[in-house]
Structure 1
Amino acid sequence: MIAYLKVFIFSMLPIFELRGAIPYGLKIGLPFWQVLLIAVIGNLIPVIFILLIGRFIGSHIFPKWLWQRTQNKHENKFLKWGDFALISFVAIPLPFTGAWTGALAALIFRVKFWRALGLISIGVIISGIIVSIISLGIFSL
């Protein structure tokens, strides 16, 4: 039970997210589907809070000029690629991408809550599958 809780908590942490939680869970011998499900759910919980609270405190945490500069610099790309931009940004398991930064991007580009949560969820599931495939391949060598 503690092992599942560790996977859940690890998947909630920024940077670590499910990219670290899934390999950890598989390495200690937990079943694949359970690890994937727990890591995805754990990774999405902070997103809900970021999207809800971020709209109110985002302008107080980040300087307005930085917020505006980021918006102006990337808005055309975001509008061009639309939903695919947010999904792929979250789905690609690289440093500084993932659910946390995807939620921040959704806030910057004013994506509505339910739409952002849906798109980020799709990205997290894709990322979880990619990380699982890579982890299962590495551990079976």
Structure 2
Amino acid sequence: MDLIATVLIAVQSALPFWESRYAIPLAIQGGYPPVAAAAIGIASNLAVVVVLLLLLEPVSDFLIARSKLFEKFFDWLFTRTRRHSERFERWGALALIPFVAVPIPVTGSWTACAAAFVFGIRFRYALPAIAAGMLIAVAVTTITMLGITSVHGMLG
């Protein structure tokens, strides 16, 4: 296991819109051991989730207190988002699981952290829900990639 490849998996897994659900299959495709790729990718992605969940509220409070521009932005964001909050009000943190699990752009753990913040979902509920969704997304993308690779290997 190459140090550069390990760092690349960790960095890619931490990136918004990419995350572990794409970094892990890419690493496996590149010859990295699947279990190691999954462990590094999931750990890196979860570390970002923990930081985001812990810091979004204090950072936004800090920015609001010091800038009218940020105050207006967060007022706009909360007003706009909470108008569409029926699913989150009904299901709470459980709504985050399918939101993260569907491996399409803008439905990853970064966006789920923002949703948890906006809808006031507490850390102790948001973290396991986001982690569960992340594990499902990683499984879906990895199994799909392995299946495509197997079929490609059989055909050519």
Shorter-chain TM-score above 0.5: yes
CA contact (8 A) 2:93 2:116 kept: no
**TM-score normalised by L of structure 1:** 0.91
Amino acid at match of 2:112: G
* CA–CA distance in structure 1, aligned partners of residues 121 and 94 of structure 2: 13
Instruction: Give the structure with higher Rg (CA).
Output: 2
What TM-score, normalized to structure 2? 0.83
> How do 1:89-104 residues align onto structure 2 when only pairs under 5 Å count?
89-104=99-114
Deviation at 1:54, TM superposition (A): 0.3
Residues 49, 110 of structure 2: 8 Å contact kept: yes
CA offsets per residue over residues 35-81 of structure 1, 9 Å max, x none? 1121111111111111111011235354312222201x222121223
Q: Mean Cα displacement is larger for which, 16-25 or 75-84?
A: 75-84
Letter in 2 for 1:86: L
Structure 1 residue 84 displacement after superposition: 3.0
Q: State the aligned residue count.
A: 140
Question: 1:80-104: CA deviations, max 9, x gaps?
Answer: 2333311110111000011100111
Match of 1:44 among 46, 61, 64: 46
- Confirm or deny: 8 A CA contact 2:93 2:121 kept in the other structure: no
1:134 Cα deviation (Å)?
1.0
Name the SS of the counterpart of 1:74 in structure 2.
coil
Q: How does 1:56-135 map to 2 (within 5 A)?
A: 56-58=58-60, 60=63, 61=70, 62-71=73-82, 73-135=83-145
Q: Pairwise CA RMSD of aligned residues?
A: 1.5
Is contact 1:36-1:132 (8 Å) kept?
no
Query: Match for 2:23: what amino acid?
Result: A
Question: % of aligned pairs identical?
Answer: 38
Gaps of 5+ in 2: 64-69
Q: Is the 8 A contact 2:21 2:134 kept in 1?
A: no
